[in-house]
Amino acid sequence: MHTTESSETFIHRVKVLNLPKHELASIKQFFKLHNLHKFKKAPMWEYAYLNFETAEEAKVALEKLNGKEFKKRLLSTEYAKVSEKQFRDRFKVNKTIEQEDTRTPAQRLADQVTPLHKLSYEEQVAKKRKAGVRHLRDLRKKLNALPDLSEEARAQISWTTSDNPDDACQILDPIQSPITHGYRTKCEFTIGKNIQGERTVGFLLGQYRDGVTAVLEPYDCLHVSDKAKEIVRAMERYVRNSEYDVYDKVAKTGVWRSIMTKTQETGDSMEKEITDELSDDQLEQEKEKIRAYWTQLKPEINTTTLMLQTWNGVSNGITDKGQTEILMGDGYVYEHLLGCRFRISSSAFFQVNTPATELLYSKCAEWCNISQDKKTTLLDLCCGTGTIGITMAKTVDRVIGIEMIPEAIVDARANAHMNNITNVQYYASKVEDKIDIVTNERNEQVVAVLDPPRAGVHPSVIRAVRESPQIKKVIYISCDAKQAMQNFIGLCRPTSNRAKGIPFRPVRAVSIDLFPHTEHCELMIEFIRID
């Protein structure tokens, strides 16, 4: 995004200050309301960058945002005109910083992708339990801090004033992952150049936005599976022998960009390679070479599905905007989970730690079964490919899955059919548009399970749950409780014009570690209606 002045190219940059950390979804919505659709912000930044082609566009943004209030914060803005050469020179500055870092490249990468690797596993789990306790404490504080609470409203959240947090919500001992090494079934690797300037496959040794371009092989990474490492070695050999160079994001030249792997417990393996665009003839020739290469590697690497995506955009990662073609297999890998079999497409979400996921879903099923004497309907909200509902279908009377991504619903129906599950219904719809399916529900119990993306669900989903009196219990599975906090507040806040329906309260919570050696952890909370 540039304009030319004399012979030099410039970026007109607006820095928006005093934004809250995280909150990416609400910040995106805030900018969108001001007709500003592209910005850069890391989760821990308290600022964001907006880049414009002209000074006039930047000036309009300055006028729109300076002095605006967001999340009770007064925003300020700064303008800078940066030459593209200066912008690119940050890569040179970063090389100096790298030279001053006394850690080995392997240590730097370990600190980046598995930041808890220096702690014992018991210490890691204890740390994650404390994080769960802290999030529940913050929920109580935020509810008590809501403005203009009436006496009746305060009575509805009286559970938040207990001196003993366990009186308000029982916090169970954390559930540890059965495996702590090589557990990731899905990885995305960058194809680039290592510190020695050789073509390689692995992880960036930092953030590209900070000027980092060097890639390090993942062979010492604790969370990457041996199968994925074998694929990386094979892909490295391929790109080093290729007539095409790796893609350079700075110069915007080259072909090989990245590779995604899915290596399942069943032994199935998927490779999805991402390349920059080639001519039609070059692409056809390369497809044949790739297909022949992975075929001759069997059975050492059991590639059951091989895909090639062409993409000429800025990002090197997997995108639904690229053109994808299946070169081998049916486009899926298959996985077993709690006695059920699931097909997984390249874009489908599936938990990356299968043994730990079985513990998570088993505990969820345990919490969903209120009474064996009463018929239960399970609402699998944001159901994706149907894993939760299908694994629990035999323990409840009826399952209703709702998911706004139509392709996921196609997978969910196929998975239900493959497992001979007949008591499920799936709807490709927004949750708030279809939740009324339980309005005339005849079963005595309706339990909703929410396992949304990292940022949580839109407030309209929470309002729809609140306004459905048939739903007496919600099991919320969050992989980032801080980002999901607004959802928790929405479920629990006192009844008002904004939050209709009887509020919920948390009664028990447990941390389930699906991601050893990292800061991430699943926090599952059981919410019930206040009597």
Q: Largest Cα–Cα distance in the chain? A: 80
Say what the pLDDT of residue 294 is.
Answer: 96
**Residue 286, in any domain of the structure:** yes
Q: Are both 262 and 360 inside the same structural domain? A: no
Q: Is residue 124 part of a domain?
A: no
Low-confidence winner among 21-25, 368-372, 415-419, 481-485 (lowest mean pLDDT): 368-372
Q: For the purposes of burial, counting CB atoms within 10 Å of the CB of 213, is it exposed (0-12), middle (13-18) or buried (19 or more)?
A: middle
Q: Which CATH number covers residue 421?
A: 3.40.50.150
pLDDT band at 37 (very low <50, low <70, confident <90, very high): confident
For residues 92-111, average pLDDT? 73
- Per the domain annotation, does 109 fall within a domain? no
Res 278 pLDDT > 50: yes
Please report the pLDDT score of residue 107 as a whole number: 93
Residue with the larger pLDDT of the pair 82 and 341:
341
Domain match, 156 and 201 both: no
| pLDDT band at 99; cut points 50, 70, 90 | low
Active-site residue set: 479
Crossing angle for the helix pair 459-466 and 485-492, to the nearest 10 degrees: 20
Question: Residues at the annotated binding site?
Answer: 351, 403, 451
Which pLDDT score is estimated for 52? 87
Same domain membership, residue 386 and residue 297:
no
Cβ contacts of 95 within 8 Å, gap of 6 or more:
211
What percent of the chain is predicted at pLDDT more than 70? 92
Same domain, yes or no: 86 and 208: no
Structure tokens at 289: 């070479």
- In the chain, the number of structural domains is 3
Query: Above 50 in pLDDT, residue 4?
Result: no
Q: Which of 42, 71, 94 is the last residue of a domain?
A: 94
Judgement on whether residues 27 and 79 belong to the same structural domain of the protein: yes
Q: Are residues 357 and 249 in the same domain?
A: no
Same-domain pairing of 515 and 465? yes
Q: Given the structure tokens 């994925």, which residue do they identify?
A: 228
Give the pLDDT score at 317. 72
CA distance 81 to 85: 12
Same domain, 392 and 488: yes
Is residue 346 a part of any domain in this protein? no
Indicate whether this model's pTM tops 0.85: no
Q: What is the spatial distance between Cα 28 and Cα 49, in angstroms, rounded to a whole number?
A: 12
Report helix angle 121-144 to 485-492, nearest 10: 50
ω into 299 cis (within 30 of 0) = yes
Using alpha carbons, select from 463, 468, 477, 426 the residue that is nearest to residue 446.
468
Confirm whether 123 is domain-assigned. no
226-241 and 280-296 helices, crossing angle to 10°: 130
Give the model confidence (pLDDT) of 26-35 as tens digits.
888 888 888 8
Q: Indicate the pLDDT class of residue 93, thresholds 50, 70 and 90.
A: very low
**Number of residues written out for the chain:** 531
398 and 291: one domain? no
| Residue 375 domain-assigned (yes or no) | yes
Q: Is residue 4 part of a domain?
A: no
User: Which of the listed residues 289, 313, 337 is the one where a domain comes to its end?
Assistant: 337
User: Which of the pair, 166 or 458, is modelled with greater confidence?
Assistant: 458
Mean pLDDT to the nearest integer, 433-440 = 80
Same-domain pairing of 250 and 380: no
**Beta carbons of 226 and 182 less than 8 angstroms apart:** yes
CATH number of the domain enclosing 314: 2.40.50
Residue-number span of the structural domain to which 64 is assigned: 10-94
Q: What is the C-alpha separation between 10 and 3, in angstroms, rounded? A: 6
Q: Which of 94, 122, 153 is the last residue of a domain?
A: 94
Residues 418 and 396 in one domain: yes
Lowest-confidence pick of 162-166, 354-358, 412-416, 447-451 = 162-166
Q: What pLDDT, on a 0 to 100 scale, did the predictor assign at position 100?
A: 66
Average pLDDT of the chain? 89
pLDDT digits (tens, 9 = 90+) for 311-329: 887 777 777 778 899 999 9
Query: What is the pLDDT, as a whole number, of residue 215?
Result: 93
**Average pLDDT of the segment spanning 158-173:** 82
pLDDT at 86: 63
- One domain for residues 371 and 500: yes
The top-scoring range by mean pLDDT among 79-83, 183-187, 342-346, 379-383 is: 183-187
Supply the CATH number for residue 18's domain: 3.30.70.330
For residue 484, give the nearest of 22, 175, 115, 41 by alpha carbon: 22
Within a domain: residue 116? no
So what's the pLDDT on residue 89? 60
